[in-house]
Amino acid sequence: MSSIDKSKPIGVVGAGAMGRGIIQVFAQSGFDVLVHDANSSAIESALATIEKLLNRSVSKERITDDERDATLKRITPVGNVSEFKSVQLFVEAASEKPEIKKTIFKAVDKVLAGDAIRATNTSSISITELAAVTGNPSLFIGMHFFNPVPVMKLVEIVMGLETSDATYDKVHALAEAVGKTPLRANDHPGFVSNRILMPMINEAILCMQDGVARPEAIDGIMQLGMAHPMGPLRLADLIGLDVCYDILNVLHRDLGEDKYRPAPLLRKMVLAGRLGNKTKQGFYTYE
Ligand code: CAA
């Protein structure tokens, strides 16, 4: 197993819901984190959210004021990815669009050190396809975190066709160093997590569409009967209905089976701009 070197920073591109969680867990575990987002207001909002969550931990006496301040000090926004030269691990957490991710990896690949690991937090895009735009696919890997990142224990580590075992070992060790449990999967549509989760969410939407039960009853049945922490419709709202729709389309296209076809109601919700928590309207309404 690889040993962990906390003297070298971590680079993150993307300060949305997933990116800010990834930034927080690395910074809280003692790593310096360099952060870039094309939209500078996303970084401001991410820092404000991280500070709010840390303040909450201070008020619950889980961390001290000094620990909060030290965590915030370890996070450095950068205006350009050219500042990622010294990072040991680069994590991309940008929009779930292949072309956007490829553009980022092409730019960052020119800057990163020859042995730095290139990781993507993609939930459904092929790791092998993204690795192919970089100079050394053996250093490329999927590092799939779960929302809300500071709370969820899992990191699904996804091996591309050419990812080396040395890259896996290092990322496994880094995931453990930030308090997560890494589990290994191979590059295949939806990996393990979304290949199983998305058909369940889609089926819940089909139940709603077919009038089998009200949303509250569908969610309550899965929470109380199956001990899920939240029902599938509320979970879809948390993930983002656009994200669920995109993942189902990848499963449907790449696995070629009707069972993965997105529910028409999901498509309509996305077209209407009802994307869940982030737009305050999804299967539920949020304050
Ligand atoms: N960010 C940080 N912390 C959060 C949070 C957030 N967005 N939401 C909740 N928390 C924290 C709360 O602050 C609270 O912490 P304390 O114990 O310190 O008070 C703790 O989580 C529990 O929160 P609540 O008491 O408010 O509510 P809860 O017990 O219902 O838990 C939940 C909330 C953790 C979200 C829980 O409902 C849950 O585990 N839901 C399932 C989440 C899930 O399945 N996520 C995976 C989605 S799939 C994905 O992300 C990947 C993909 O590719 C699509």
Write out pLDDT tens, residues 78-131: 999 999 999 999 999 999 999 999 999 999 999 999 999 999 999 999 999 999
Q: How far apart are CA 31 and CA 33, in angstroms?
A: 6
Ligand 1 pocket test, candidate residues 56, 62, 143, 151, most atoms within 8 A of CB: 151
Centre of ligand 1 to C-alpha 103, Å, is 31
Q: What is the pLDDT of residue 2?
A: 63
Sign of the CA dihedral running 90, 94, 98, 101: negative
- Rounded Cα distance, 142 and 123, in Å: 9
Confidence (pLDDT) at 222: 98
Positions of CATH 1.10.1040.10 in the chain: 195-279
Which of 121, 194, 202, 277 is labelled catalytic? 194
How many angstroms separate the CA atoms of 143 and 127, rounded?
Answer: 10
Pairing of strands 140-144, 10-13: unpaired
Q: Are 77 and 46 in contact (CB under 8 A)?
A: no
User: Ligand 1 centroid vs 53 CA: distance in angstroms?
Assistant: 12
Active site residue 252: no
Q: Where in the chain is the domain with CATH 3.40.50.720?
A: 10-186
Residues with CB under 6 A from ligand 1: 53, 60, 123, 146-148, 150-152, 193-194, 229-230, 235, 239, 243
Pick the CATH number of 195-279 from 3.30.930.10, 1.10.1040.10, 3.40.50.720, 2.40.30.10: 1.10.1040.10
Catalytic option among 29, 121, 124, 156? 156
Q: How far apart are CA 267 and CA 45, in angstroms?
A: 29
Whether the pLDDT of residue 200 is over 60: the answer is yes
pLDDT score recorded for residue 86: 96
Domain 10-186 sits in CATH at: 3.40.50.720
**pLDDT of the residue at 272:** 98
Active-site annotation holds for 203: no
Q: Are 13 and 108 in contact (CB under 8 A)?
A: yes
- Give 4's pLDDT tier (boundaries 50, 70, 90): confident
Higher pLDDT, 287 or 127: 127
Known catalytic membership, residue 123: yes
Q: Which two tokens stand for residue 64?
A: 């001290």
What pTM was estimated for this model as a whole?
0.96
Percent of the chain with pLDDT over 90: 97
Atom of ligand 1 nearest to the CA of 238: 47
Band of pLDDT at residue 1, cut at 50, 70 and 90 = low
State the amino acid at position 60 in one-letter form: K
Cα–Cα distance list, 233 to 16, 123, 197, 220 (Å)? 22, 18, 12, 10
